[in-house]
Structure 1
């Protein structure tokens, strides 16, 4: 019986140890479950944060694409501006040349007008002189005709004598 008592005591001790170990393991399980729950919450939080960051990365990549496109467009615009600047410079040079030619033509036209004025005055003077000569000619023709008539009359009178 002592052996049975001893065995019972041993079994009780083992049961107490098993119960203690069971409680310790339950506490460990509870702690591990809480730790697991905390880690799941952290995982959920990190997943959300990861999604937010991925969305932000996507937005930044889109902005990067837009900025690259804008930079390319800016380069194209600067090329166009250079081309237009050169074209504008050529047009300005052509305009200056045309303005110079216009001034020269205007000067020649003014000189031609002055010459035309002088020539018109000469023509008028020559026409006036011609008119004078014509009137002198007519006077002389009349005098000639009168003298011719007088001569014919004189010849007729001399012929009658």
Structure 2
């Protein structure tokens, strides 16, 4: 009976070891599956990127062909280049003339602003002088009314005498 118990204990220990080993292996399987999923995603991404790059290469090859044709045609267009250069020169001269006119206009505008400020100050000065004269006029009118009133009183008192 002891032998059976020993055998059972040994089998139980072996079973525990086997279960631990199974758990370790299942854990490793999960890690490998996660890594595989990650790698599959990377592969998918790289495949997509590769497809895009191949399409870009095709476009660039087509563009290169077009540019070669244009370069060949451009060799024949040397005269056109000279014409364009002359047009550029004319446009640059026009731009310089326009810039000069703009500077002159800005200077005239600045001078006009200075004159406007001068006249504005002069108007303010004249308005202040006008206000002063109006005040003096009102004071003189008051003096006149007062003197007339006194004169009328004096004339009336002389008549009563």
Give the TM bin, normalised by the shorter chain: 0.5 to 0.7
Paired residues, number: 94
Distance 1:114 1:88 in 2: 39
Distance 1:135 1:94, change over 3 A: same
- Specify every segment of 5 or more residues in structure 1 that has no aligned partner in the other structure, as ranges: 1-59, 155-161
Q: Which residue in the other structure is 1:77 paired with?
A: 84
2:76 is the alignment partner of 1:68? yes
Offset of residue 83 of structure 1? 0.9
CA RMSD of aligned residues (A): 2.2
Residue 87 of structure 1 is matched in structure 2 by 94
Deviations 1:79-108 (CA, angstroms, capped at 9, x unpaired): 111111111111111111111111111111
Map 1:30-45 → 2, pairs under 5 A: none
The structure number with the bigger radius of gyration is 1
**TM-score using structure 2 length:** 0.53
The aligned runs of 1:86-105 (5 Å cut-off) are 86-105=93-112
Once the two structures are TM-superposed, the CA of residue 143 in structure 1 deviates from its matched residue by 1.2
**Structure 2 segments unaligned to the other structure (5+ residues):** 1-67
Aligned equivalents of 2:71 and 2:145: distance in 1?
105
1:108 paired with 2:115, answer yes
> In structure 1, what is the equivalent of residue 152 of structure 2?
145
TM-score (norm 1): 0.53
In the alignment, the residues of structure 2 paired with residue 104 and residue 135 of structure 1 have an alpha-carbon distance, to the nearest angstrom, of 46
